[in-house]
Structure 1
Amino acid sequence: MKTAHFIKQVFTVAVGFFVSLLFLLLITIWGVSQLASNDSSKHEVRVNSILQLNMQGRAVELVHESLLGSNKGIIDLNLIKKAIHKAKDDSRIKAIYLELSYFDAGWAALEEIREALLSFKKQGKTIVAYGDSYSQKSYYLASVADEIVLNPSGLLEFQGLSVTIDFYTKLFENICIKPIIFRIGAYKSAIEPLCLNKMSEESRKQTGDYLSLLHEHFLKNIGLERNIKVSKLKEFAHNLSVVLPTDALYNKMITKIAYEEESKKSLVQQFNESDATVNKYFVSYKHYTHLNQQPDVANNIAVVVAEGQIINGVSSAGYVGASDFVRTIERVKKDPDIKAVVLRIDSPGGSVLASDIMCQAIEELKEVKPVVASMSNVVASGGYYIAAPCHYIVAQPTTITGSIGIFGILFDTTKLMQKIGIECDVVKTSPSADFLNPRTTCSQEESKFFYKILQSHYETFLQKVSKGRGLSMNKVKSLASGKVYAGTVAKQNGLVDELGGMEKAIEKAASLANLTGTYRIGCFPYPKTKLEQLLEYTSSNIKMELLSSLAEEHQILNHLQAIRKRQGWQAILPYTIDIK
């Protein structure tokens, strides 16, 4: 017993020593990084400085700190916009340098960055864009620039927009799994990838409708900035006639063919002819936005971000957890300094139960403070569910919204179990005691009961929209059935109040709260620090983060991960929309 006690003490001391060592290491790393970041000479804003927007990565509304790695490849959308708006009124900043080689974002996010750049340009300041190559999304931003530079070996991918959907019906047939599908609404096609091999006519029609609207908007705005007719741009895309650098230059889609260092040097010399030093004039947007933070004032507007699929429980990268969301709303509601709230949504929807819980929290919040919804790239189904109760809704013309509908899926794995040698037997006290057992199919009575539940949730969804938007039930029903709309159409049919971005939503929130003086904008929820993540980390968290990293690289894993997280009835967009 004494030996066991001694070993236990030694083990306890050893564990304590290694934990203390780990914390000391983390504190040392943090201290060194702080000293490095506080090197003022490195980030000095000089006269005739150039704001450098290194846009290599994917833009997101909310950056989640990653314990297992850096956030390389993740761009904070709000930080980008903040830097541009700040630079617009800073006399020391003469130009913006856009590095757009490997940039990706949703179309509504692109619209907001583009609007900020145009506002900067209206002050008589210069914008130069450079790309090793340009995707259509990155070129949409580059089109506002005074000079568009393309690498001699690069390409301009200007070929029209498309939506591609993967179908898994054959996959499930091959592995002997039968999806049992329940849905309401002919346009609620979230389940189509699981039961069809191509789009239904309803899905194809609505996809074509909003894709055409987005394409026309895209071409019109590019045409205005480059002084090229829309018909000519369509011809370029149809014939792939501006893909090569020389063709793009000839057709005035770009202004220069050059390497990056040459384009940087040329820009610096525009404002500093006598100084050959290039790098000292470039200011990183990340450091620039942290200089001279907003002053403390009594009146604040909270921007609450809901980004990703809606699920029960806690939030993580790509998912909005209802319990975390409700805690954030409660915090905002109780803060006396917060006078109004902007709900920033970028979500295709998800769990009906989680959406309803979040909707209820918003309804309670709006009783005490003005709430304005700001729609980003996709605000559909469950995403629209939580937007509906807000006092006012603002969306971009390119926002994808609507999809008011609901579905449920069960997976019958009976044949798979039999094929691999697993048999199942059951003893029941009532006919439907094993109703939700995934290894069994549904009886006719059970299917009817499923649809009864589904209809009940759908009616609740319609009522929430009717009440929140002040529309009759008949009007809501005509807009529902899973139909998807671009922001411009949603404005026409009453699902949206005004077209615009986050700034317009903030202005409206301030107006509703009667804020006439200076007010501060705070973003919620606060991202967890690496130390906070370390304290609550478990092996399951590590496995999920590794799976998320893999899912980002492989689309099929992303779909399977999303299916795994879906519990109960779903109010979610038909499929993952990635317009390229």
Structure 2
Amino acid sequence: MNFFKQVLATITGVLITGVILFFGFIFIIAVLVSSSTQDSKAPAPANSVLYLSMDYNITEKSESNPFSDLNLPLGVSDSEIGLNDILSRIEAAKTDDNIKGIYMNPTTVGTGFASLKAIRDALEDFKSSKKFIVAYSDGYSQKAYYLASVADKIYLNPQGSLDFRGLSSSTMFMKGALDKLGVDMQVIKVGTYKSAVEPFILSSMSEANRQQVTSYLTSIYDAFLDDLAAARKISKDSLHQYADSYAVRNADAALKYKFIDAKMYKDELIAEMKKRLNITDKDDISIVSITKYAGKTTEETGSDEIAVLYAYGSIVDGEGSVGEIGGDKISRELRKLRQDDKVKAVVLRINSGGGSALASDVIWREVALTKKVKPVIVSMGDYAASGGYYIAAAADSIFAEKTTLTGSIGVFGLIPNLKGLLNNKIGVTFEDVKTGKFASLMSTPDKPLTEEEKAIIQVEVNNTYQTFMDRVAKGRNISIAQVDSIGQGRVWTGDQALQIGLVDKIGNLNAAINAAATKGKLTSFYTKEYPAKEDPFASILSTSKEKVKMWMFEEELGEYQKYILELQKLMKNTGIQARIPNDIEIY
């Protein structure tokens, strides 16, 4: 009896100690977060240079991250910044007398071409201030060089590299691995080009998918080369030739073909920067990172507000989490904005490859209702495809970048049959007791769908596709037959989408805001971003959990973590899906 008392007392003591340590940890973190958030952003000192390294995670919109300014283990303090803050801080630096120029030091850039174009356009606008932009790197990836090409001067380490060989996109196919595991992915879809399911049922691209990827990749490449040709005064034909022959790989070739202005070591760059700032060799250069730059506080001028509502990430049912478009959350935000008399127009900023068809329709309904009360203009980011296009279709007007991936009007259902894995490899079996013929439909993991069950699901998928097409036809004022001809799950670039009537204009977020002001007949207005940021203290636990999980994945899997995460996302999906492949990456 004494033994059990001692064991129980020990367990109780451990639990109490754990609770005390847990809350103590939270208190310490809260204090650190409080001090960090108070001083993390500051104005630039006089005679400063704004620094863009681009080695941080670029999201569509900056969210509360209480660990971003703390030096904590396990990767929970990884630097992160939203595209919205990058653009606004470059704009602020343009008129900041303390900022004399911009120093870019990009090697790789982890974002899509539409976001890159937005940053590049902001830098181009910055140059109108007559302040300098200098780019330097030990090695430029193609995306990094595209961004650097806007600079007044581009420099490269004499032993460095410049990767210029054309764009490519690759897809990982998992059918062979699933076959070995005994997993059969049962697909019900509509759309010849609906390729999101291909990695699970094929070992290579279908001809239809290869056709669409070639089409949109060529369109993006053309826009990419157009900007480089204009910036570096090199003909587009020459750029094609250099890429096809892989002529530009190192600093010597980059200088020979006028991709850079000079080869430099870092000490030479520092010496030049000091000359530009008119300081002595002994003086230090005042560098302000864009992640720390305070920029300027948006002032509310006038009484009319244009709300910029951000919807980015996968579209999911319910509330969703940070980086997801929760059907309930975004529709609630739209209702609030519709009922707010101060808000005279709404700009819906979409960066999404889609997701739940049901959640997409929930959001579409609120967009349609809001348009009846006040203007709704859509601004598309890197993606606004499938479910992302669904929620855009009801808007008054749609703006996209040339390289935005959009369209993909099609739907699918993906139901795994785990019979081979569970029964044959693990030895687990299931047995049903049911009160109706279809009572166990999709609820037993080791039962393949019958032809009758497939037909039932196909009817629902077809109905969802028909509804999708109807939403687009009414929103774009075209026939359902026209929608079907450009639908079928096919992905288009923004430039292509403009030609076939899926978008109205090529332009960035500012262009969409100006269009909203014109539509609302506003002469004096201010903008405000939604959803509002979470309180830093409220996000401590959720942020740390997600960051630690991502760190663990990265430690074990490196760059291959993304494939596991995409598979995990897909397996969590419920209901009929309207999405493009989540792993479209262009290099």
TM-score for the superposition, normalised by structure 1: 0.91
Is 1:215 aligned with 2:214?
A: no
1:32-43 counterparts in 2 under 5 A? 32-34=35-37, 36-37=39-40, 43=43
- Which residue of 350, 356, 381 corresponds with 2:386? 381
SS of structure 2 residue aligned to 1:532: coil
In structure 2, what is the equivalent of residue 117 of structure 1? 123
Is 1:410 aligned with 2:412?
A: no
Is 1:459 aligned with 2:458?
A: no
Counterparts in 2 of 1:24 and 1:60: CA distance versus 1, 3 Å: closer
Shift in Å, 1:122 = 3.0
Is 1:447 aligned with 2:454?
A: yes
In structure 1, C-alpha distance between the alignment counterparts of 2:264 and 2:141, rounded to whole Å: 17
Shift in Å, 1:295 = 4.0
In structure 1, C-alpha distance between the alignment counterparts of 2:563 and 2:54, rounded to whole Å: 26
In structure 2, what is the equivalent of residue 508 of structure 1? 515
Larger mean Cα displacement after TM superposition, 25-34 or 158-167: 25-34
Larger mean Cα displacement after TM superposition, 415-424 or 481-490: 415-424
In structure 1, C-alpha distance between the alignment counterparts of 2:23 and 2:562, rounded to whole Å: 41
Counterparts in 2 of 1:418 and 1:239: CA distance versus 1, 3 Å: same
State the identity as a percent: 34
Is 1:561 aligned with 2:568?
A: yes
Deviations 1:263-311 (A, max 9, x none): 243123123145742322x333344344444246522222111111111
1:321-340 counterparts in 2 under 5 A? 321-340=326-345
Deviations 1:157-213 (A, max 9, x none): 111000101111111110011111111111112111111111111111111111111
SS of structure 1 residue aligned to 2:158: coil
- Which residue of 449, 452, 476 corresponds with 2:483? 476
Is 1:314 aligned with 2:313?
A: no
Q: Aligned letter for 1:577?
A: I
In structure 2, what is the equivalent of residue 104 of structure 1? 110
Counterparts in 2 of 1:9 and 1:196: CA distance versus 1, 3 Å: closer
Q: Aligned letter for 2:485?
A: S
- Which residue of 14, 23, 28 corresponds with 1:25? 28
1:92-491 counterparts in 2 under 5 A? 92-274=98-280, 276-280=282-286, 282-295=287-300, 297-419=302-424, 420-436=426-442, 437-491=444-498
Counterparts in 2 of 1:159 and 1:535: CA distance versus 1, 3 Å: closer
In structure 1, what is the equivalent of residue 92 of structure 2? 86
In structure 1, C-alpha distance between the alignment counterparts of 2:145 and 2:539, rounded to whole Å: 37
Larger mean Cα displacement after TM superposition, 328-337 or 394-403: 328-337
Counterparts in 2 of 1:544 and 1:341: CA distance versus 1, 3 Å: farther
Counterparts in 2 of 1:200 and 1:10: CA distance versus 1, 3 Å: closer
In structure 2, C-alpha distance between the alignment counterparts of 1:49 and 1:98, rounded to whole Å: 14
TM-score for the superposition, normalised by structure 2: 0.90
- Counterpart contact for 2:347–2:516, Cα < 8 Å: yes
Is 1:499 aligned with 2:506?
A: yes
Counterparts in 2 of 1:537 and 1:98: CA distance versus 1, 3 Å: closer
In structure 2, C-alpha distance between the alignment counterparts of 1:432 and 1:229, rounded to whole Å: 64
| Unaligned segments of structure 1, at least 5 residues | none
Shift in Å, 1:244 = 0.7
In structure 2, what is the equivalent of residue 60 of structure 1? 59
Deviations 1:71-113 (A, max 9, x none): 5243321111112222223344332111212322100001111
Shift in Å, 1:69 = 4.9
- Counterpart contact for 1:108–1:397, Cα < 8 Å: yes
Counterparts in 2 of 1:398 and 1:542: CA distance versus 1, 3 Å: closer
SS of structure 1 residue aligned to 2:337: helix
Deviations 1:300-359 (A, max 9, x none): 222111111111123335422222222322333333322211111111111111111111
Q: Aligned letter for 1:327?
A: R
Deviations 1:441-482 (A, max 9, x none): 112211111111111111110011011111111211111111
RMSD value, Cα: 2.8
Shift in Å, 1:548 = 7.0
Deviations 1:194-243 (A, max 9, x none): 11111111111111111111111111210111111111111211222111
SS of structure 2 residue aligned to 1:216: helix
Q: Aligned letter for 2:257?
A: N
Shift in Å, 1:549 = 5.8
Counterparts in 2 of 1:35 and 1:265: CA distance versus 1, 3 Å: farther
Larger mean Cα displacement after TM superposition, 567-576 or 108-117: 567-576
SS of structure 1 residue aligned to 2:319: coil
In structure 2, C-alpha distance between the alignment counterparts of 1:264 and 1:87, rounded to whole Å: 21
